[in-house]
Amino acid sequence: MAIMSSRLIRHEICKDELKKLGAHIIDIQGVMSLVKFNIEGTNITYIYHLNEDNSFFLERIKPYAMPVGEYQSEEEVVDVIKVDTEQFKNAMRSHNFSKFIEIDYNIAKMVRLFEDLYLYYNIKKEDLEILDNEIHLLLDIIKKIKAGSERVYFKKEPDVLKEDLEYEEKTTT
């Protein structure tokens, strides 16, 4: 019981830290938290929960859904949210911000469309290869855009967009 009590105390401290950042927090059965921000009229919402192994899974659910990652402590979750909201504040300065959000939302929707495609239909191998080739073309476009764009955020390195970014060929077992 002492472990849970210290975890709950840490949880309350982390919630206080998020509230200081301007978040509205809704606890859902004590092991899941909804963290809401309204930054310059844009709603940014996160949800995180405690996994069975005592790690935390964090997901941004607004303005578009995106898994952020798994973290070993709730303090790490707070640190990640701090950086993420700071990056959004920076991105909001762009005149292209609303278009960025629209494209990101559509990409997230595309993931769901693809999932429905393979869960509900028997897809030919050739059709999957067409989709795979198009994904690789999109990656090449992203690399070209990155190469021709000015970097504006330097407090941390990108999590995924690296110099050697390539899609991995994965096989299922």
Structure tokens at 9: 């105390």
Give the per-residue pLDDT at 173: 45
Across all residues in the chain, what is the average pLDDT? Answer: 89
For residues 96 and 150, the answer to whether their CB atoms sit within 8 Å is no
Average the pLDDT over 153-167 and give the result: 81
Write the Ramachandran bin of 68: left for phi over 0, alpha for psi from -120 to 50, otherwise beta: alpha
- pLDDT of 159 > 90? The answer is no
- What confidence category does residue 172 fall into, taking pLDDT thresholds of 50, 70 and 90? low
Strand runs (DSSP E) across the chain, as ranges?
Answer: 24-28, 32-39, 42-50, 56-62, 66-71
Select from 93, 6, 109, 115 the least CA-distant residue to 42.
93
For residues 81 and 20, the answer to whether their CB atoms sit within 8 Å is no
Give 151-158's long-range contacts (Cβ < 8 A, gap of 24+). Answer: 152/90, 153/87, 153/90, 155/83, 155/86, 156/83
**Each residue's pLDDT tens digit, 9-32:** 888 899 999 999 999 987 766 678
For residues 33 and 77, the answer to whether their CB atoms sit within 8 Å is no
Lowest mean pLDDT among 27-31, 36-40, 89-93, 160-164: 27-31
Structure tokens at 74: 């709730």
- pLDDT of 150 > 50? The answer is yes
